[in-house]
Amino acid sequence: MVAHVLRLRIALVFGALRGDRRHLTRMILGSIVLIAAVAAGCWAVLTLADTRAGVVLAVTVLGGSGVTLGFALAPIVASVSDPLDPRRFAVLGLAPAPLAATIAAVGLVSVPIAAVTAVAVAAGVTWGELGTPWWAIAVGIILAVVTCGLLARVGMAVTSLFLRERRSRELTGLFILAVLVVVVPVGVFLASLEWRGTVPSQLSEAVEILALTPLGAAWAFPGLVVTGAEAAPLSFLVAFLTVAALTGLWFWLVRVLLTTSERPLTGRERGGLGWFAVAPGTPGGAIAARSLLYWLTDRRYLVNVLAIPVAAALTVVPLLVAGVPLEIAVLVPVPVAALFFGWLPHNDLAYDSTAVWMHIGSGVRGASDRIGRLVPIILIGVVLLAVAVPISISLHGRWSALPAMTGLCAALFLCGLGLSSITSATWPYPVTRPGDSPFQQPQRTGSGGALAQAFVMLGAMVLSAPVAWWGWLSLGGDEEATTLALWGGLAIGGFTAIAGIAVGSAVFERRGSRIMEFAESS
């Protein structure tokens, strides 16, 4: 059976190269990029043979842990079906245990596994030149590759059981954003470190911890052996137990898959409803899905979002002209962007035009309306700030300022969101109608627009002023101020956001008729 399934697997691999010219071109280009990336990775690992064992250990543990984590997350992020799904073999009446063993073995025949094997072998060659025994290298390579393969199998099985009903392009996009929020800051931090032949002090403890976790134990074992570390046996034990646990989990999942029938999917579950298929089936979830659709497709929203990073970046120019040092000037754009992102939804209710009657006519609670409308800007703002903050700190040069910058941005962003929840229901003012040019602004009567904008902008700045002061003190090396800036910013911002949503909810429910009158007249 193993040989037969192996032949099917090889046929599937080569069958991916068949198709029309566009598909074939895409596959060839993808293969070239993959081969180049693997070759570059192997070359980079092989060049480490002339460095210290500690540096090689740090690089292999960090890189190997990232690769292993990628194998665990890839099935969740990618919306692809498993060609070796055990349910495909259900009609053959095979026993679960032999089938699980066969699929696990044949699953190692894949392009990603071949790539990680090549990198692992390159790491093994490097360890061999540093004096690591061959048996330790072989054990490390086998455990690392098998761990990656089993993680991919388990991940695809779990995805088919629990995420199949909501699998869609939108859900995949959310997963990718979540990965970016973690990967980009970490990548910027690692790129900013200066190794100079030794392991930076910021990474030493992280490497020691990862070497004893399921993610990095197998990759660390050869290095711990050659350095004579006392943690080598423990690292081997963790790696072995990880493979054993994943094997047991995989066998159990195969049994569950073979004994669980798939129910037909509804239109919502097939993902045909876009964000409505991803969001929870609640009033707040429906409003969040509709708001996401507007924010990602309506030109009026897109222009506002795209203008913020540009405007924030331009603030550096006058500062440099005024003689502000570059390492201080690069810290300004990110808090400015955080302030504007929090300010952005201060009038979002007006962008609905007459469509706001759906919220009022259905009797939706104010909290559902307020929270649902904030979901898009929270997703956009958090992702962009998570990328921009570490880049700004990297240009600044002192990573000790990261907590203070995080606290300040959180305070400005969350305070703006809380105050915007109040103003959008209290002082809505006319905006561009749906379908019109985003640069065409209607004539306004009264001071409601200026009042709403000033209330959110100045209110967020005033509430965040203590955090800004603590952040300024932290630039001078005050560790206590750094801690106050981080936790004070989160506390002030969180409290303001919750209080603003509560007040805005009450205002929305009380002023429903006036909001509808505004929508009809604007």
* Those residues with Cβ within 8 angstroms of residue 411's Cβ, 6 or more apart along the chain or in another chain: 460, 463, 464, 467, 488, 489, 490, 492, 493
- Indicate the pTM of the whole model: 0.73
State the average pLDDT over residues 398-410.
Answer: 88
What was the pLDDT predicted at 442? 64
Contact present, 60 and 47 (Cβ < 8 Å): no
pLDDT for 122 beyond 60: yes
pLDDT band at 49 (very low <50, low <70, confident <90, very high): confident
State the average pLDDT over residues 247-254.
Answer: 91
Helix axes 96-106, 232-259, angle to 10 degrees: 120
How confident is the model over 128-181, as pLDDT tens digits? 888 888 898 999 999 999 999 999 888 888 887 776 555 566 666 666 666 666
pLDDT band at 500 (very low <50, low <70, confident <90, very high): very high
How confident is the model over 3-43, as pLDDT tens digits? 766 677 677 666 666 666 676 777 778 778 888 888 988 88
What was the pLDDT predicted at 52? 81
CA distance 66 to 70: 6
State the average pLDDT over residues 370-385.
Answer: 90
Helix (H, G, I), strand (E, B) or coil at 390: helix
pLDDT for 268 beyond 50: no
CA torsion through residues 153, 155, 161, 167, sign = negative
pLDDT for 244 beyond 90: yes
Give the CA distances from residue 393 to residues 84, 100, 192, 332, 357, in Å, rounded to whole numbers and listed in that order: 45, 48, 10, 11, 45
State the average pLDDT over residues 54-83.
Answer: 81
pLDDT band at 420 (very low <50, low <70, confident <90, very high): very high
pLDDT for 232 beyond 70: yes
How confident is the model over 446-498, as pLDDT tens digits? 555 678 888 999 999 999 999 999 988 888 877 888 889 989 999 999 999 99
What was the pLDDT predicted at 86? 82
- Cα radius of gyration rounded to whole Å, the chain: 27
Contact present, 367 and 449 (Cβ < 8 Å): no
Contacts 24+ apart (CB under 8 A), 474-481: 474/400, 474/401, 474/403, 474/404, 475/328, 475/398, 475/401, 475/404, 477/400, 481/404
* Those residues with Cβ within 8 angstroms of residue 397's Cβ, 6 or more apart along the chain or in another chain: 327
pLDDT band at 96 (very low <50, low <70, confident <90, very high): confident
pLDDT band at 54 (very low <50, low <70, confident <90, very high): confident
Task: Go through the chain and tell me how many residues it has.
Answer: 522
User: In this predicted model, which residue has the larger pLDDT, 516 or 370?
Assistant: 370
Phi/psi at 151 (5° precision): -60, -40
How confident is the model over 320-345, as pLDDT tens digits? 888 888 888 888 999 999 999 999 98
What was the pLDDT predicted at 2? 64
pLDDT for 508 beyond 90: no
Amino acid making up residue 486: L
